Amino acid sequence: MSLDATAREANLRDSIKRYFVDNLVTAEGVQVSFDRGLSTPKVQGTDVDRWVAISLGTIEMGTMSSAIVTIYCCSKMDSEGFKLAQLRDKVMGYLVDPNATDGYARITLYRSHPTEAWTNIGGMVVIIETESPVMEAEDNSKIKAITITLRWSSKI
């Protein structure tokens, strides 16, 4: 017996990745990495000076499922933290929706497939939980963590 598409972790991961790639990489030109730590990504062999690392945490499946996602905004060569502040603002712009009556952004939940078109099977509500103070790494990178909870209806 197989899981319903709304309860598949693969669909959850692919949907999150698509949302951030479409919005941050394609629309904003910000490099994004997924579940790979905070190491600086390289573009054509060159380190970037700002990037976002996304990590999927605890998943709870039920009729109202939830997943914790931590979004690390990172910058290098940023002595006063201005690049980090700008990056944080870009990211937050995709986590809220001022046009929605509740202010919450939605991320489309897709049934993903490696060779066929993806199918929209629902939406996940984005709830911002916490935002860390600026942290500094040994290499002088600046990091700010934004933790969100995604909630969606699923069949288990």
Q: 73-111 pLDDT, tens per residue? A: 999 999 899 999 999 999 999 999 999 999 999 999 999
Residue 83 is predicted with a pLDDT of 96
Q: Give the percent of the chain with pLDDT over 90.
A: 85
How far is it, in rounded angstroms, from Cα 69 to Cα 156? 21
Answer yes or no: pTM beyond 0.85.
Answer: yes
Q: pLDDT category, 41, cuts 50, 70, 90? A: low
Condensed to tens digits (0 to 9), the pLDDT of residues 45-69 reads 667 899 999 999 999 999 999 999 9
Residues of the domain holding 23: 5-153
Residues linked to residue 104 through DSSP beta bridges, in sequence order: 96
Section 105-125 average pLDDT: 96
Look at the chain and report how many structural domains it folds into.
1
Mean pLDDT of the chain: 93
35 has a pLDDT exceeding 80: no
Residue 48 is predicted with a pLDDT of 86
CATH number at residue 110: 3.30.2000.20
Section 35-39 average pLDDT: 69
How far is it, in rounded angstroms, from Cα 139 to Cα 77? 10
- Characterize the bridge pairing of strands 42-43 and 31-34: unpaired
